[in-house]
Structure 1
Amino acid sequence: MIDRPVRIGLQLQPQHMDYATIRRTASEAEDLGLDVLFNWDHFFPLSGEPDGLHFECWTMLAAWAESTSRVEIGALVSCNSYRNPDLLADMARTVDHISGGRLILGIGSGWFERDYTEYGYEFGTAGGRLDDLATALPRIESRWSRLNPPPTRDIPVLIGGGGEKKTLRLTAKHADIWHSFSDPETLDRKLGILRDHCKDVGRDPDEIEISVMGHTENRDRMYELGARLFTINTGGPKPDLTELREFLAWRDKLNA
């Protein structure tokens, strides 16, 4: 088994605040010792005023690549439907270079219907969107191998979602990190399914880092099950890093 340290992520939700606040919060979180800084890939707020302040994902990641110096950065998660896979691969490679090799490509099949309808994308079905993701991932990998210059490193791929037949199989084939939104009981079961998929494709499941949302009440159990990347979230109008500070102290105790 790979001995991984605990890492802490922050999903800084780009809603209900101006960009100056987002940038300042990102810098403060990095200064506190954060490991991974995430945003999300939506076009409208997911909570609060539905037409409130909101900013786009990938242009923000490019800005974070310049305004931060140590944390890894990425989307939790980028929607496969919104960009041609070859273009997304090139965008990721470019942000990888801007950041000096700190990008994680978080990707999923998409789910928020308003994003699709208002921006002119076909919403389709959940199964169809997962099939599109299955087609996109090899294209992304192939494009990386042909870009000049190539990425600075093997860009880690994070796949988010818990579908047992399709998403977890794609995770076994393509992902370096699997992000789950599960409770501990569900996570335990899905990890067994992921291990089965890894066996089917000839992959060592220990190569895949397990990522979860950070909840104080179940984090110790999630740790026992193998989770090592714990992500908490905050958003506008007044982002609060109190919980982040507590999780960083917990991380440091475990990693000592």
Structure 2
Amino acid sequence: MPQTPRTRFGIMTAPMQVDYHDVLRVWREADAIPDIEHAWLFDHLMPIGGDLGGPAYEGWTLLSALAAQTERLRLGVLVTSNRFRPPAMLAKIAATVDIVSGGRLDFGIGAGSRPSHPLARREYEAHGLPFHDSAHAVGSLAEACTVIRRLWTEAEPFDFDGTYLHLTGAFGNPKPVQRPHPPILIGGRSAAVLRVVAEHADAWNIPGGDIGDVIRRSALLDRYCAEIGRDPASITRSIHLPVSYEEPSSTREAIGEAIDAGFQHIVLGLPAPYPADVAQWVTDELIIKSV
């Protein structure tokens, strides 16, 4: 009888409205606690909450710095906006972080912020980045996953002439440490993105909330996998759950619902400011009491 996959817990520190040293402190604390297995940043260039003129750090640059100052944690960006960086450039950045970390990168990517989120959309206009419609975002995400994987694995230069991406003499060197490549985690909840997940992802992440909707989205992913002949169990189910310092029981309840729904990769979003010894608190109050 197959064993149920073990639940793996991690933390997320959104790098906005905080100082670099605040994030570094939490990650170093977490790195010393085996019950916390992974840690994440997000990918926004401007704050999407709180003081809209406050600080927001670039995710991949910060991730590389944290990779160099941790030893054990799996780490990643939950999730990278495919709209921000050309995919071949992103493949190079991610390979560099995988090398810096000694092979600990989980590569998170998504289609980018939805058009209905004005606080996210403003960062594209502020940085001179194009904001295409959803069909373009999803189509280019699928091509990006293909190109990035090829850059990580192929030994010879190649050309790629897709609908959205056009590369000539594409080649990645050095390769990532992990073989055949870092795990690819795709985040999103729309049906169109779930089709890309079925085709390309090793893991799928969805923001928590209505657990009924989360379960329906997971079942839809199962269906898309079946349509292409893929075992749905080959895709790790990951969920981001916001942490309440004031009411940890509500967070524990959400964790229990997620585990019961088949989500074995739990990302606990830590609101700032981070209390002293917050990683140990997460372990004692949320992780140990939920398993």
TM-score (norm 1): 0.92
Report the equivalent of 1:223.
259
Paired residues in the alignment total 251
CA shift, 1:195, in A, is: 0.9
Q: Higher helix fraction: Structure 1 or Structure 2?
A: 1
Q: State the Cα RMSD in Å.
A: 1.7
- Consecutive unaligned residues in structure 2, runs of 5 or more: 114-119, 155-171, 242-250
* C-alpha distance after superposition, 1:192-237 (max 9, x if no partner): 2111111122211111111112332232222122101111112434
Check if 1:126 corresponds to 2:130.
no
Gaps of 5+ in 1: none
Corresponding residue SS for 1:180: strand
Cα distance, 1:145–1:224 mapped onto 2, change above 3 Å: same
CA radius of gyration, larger in: 2
Equivalent position amino acid for 1:31 in 2: A
Query: Is the contact made by 1:32 and 1:245 (CA closer than 8 Å) also made in structure 2?
Result: no
For 1:77, give the aligned amino acid: V
- Match of 1:173, as an amino acid? E
AA of the residue aligned to 2:225: C
Give me the identity figure in percent: 32
Counterpart amino acid of residue 285 in structure 2: E
In structure 2, do the counterparts of structure 1 residues 239 and 179 end up closer, same or farther at CA, with 3 Å as the change threshold?
farther
Shift of 1:245: 3.8
Q: Structure 1 runs of 4+ off > 3 angstroms?
A: 235-240, 242-245
Per-residue deviation, 1:239: 4.9
The TM-score, its normalising length taken from structure 2, stands at 0.81
Contact 1:25 1:239 in 2 (8 A): no
Give yes or no for the alignment of 1:141 onto 2:134: no
Give the structure, 1 or 2, with the largest relative contact order (CA under 8 Å, sep 6 or more): 1
Task: Give the match for residue 269 of structure 2.
Answer: 233
Identify the residue that residue 248 of structure 1 maps to in structure 2: 287
**Aligned equivalent of 2:220:** 193
Q: 8 Å contact 1:172–1:197 — kept in the other structure?
A: yes
Q: Is the 8 A contact 2:252 2:289 kept in 1?
A: no
1:177 has 2:208 as partner: no
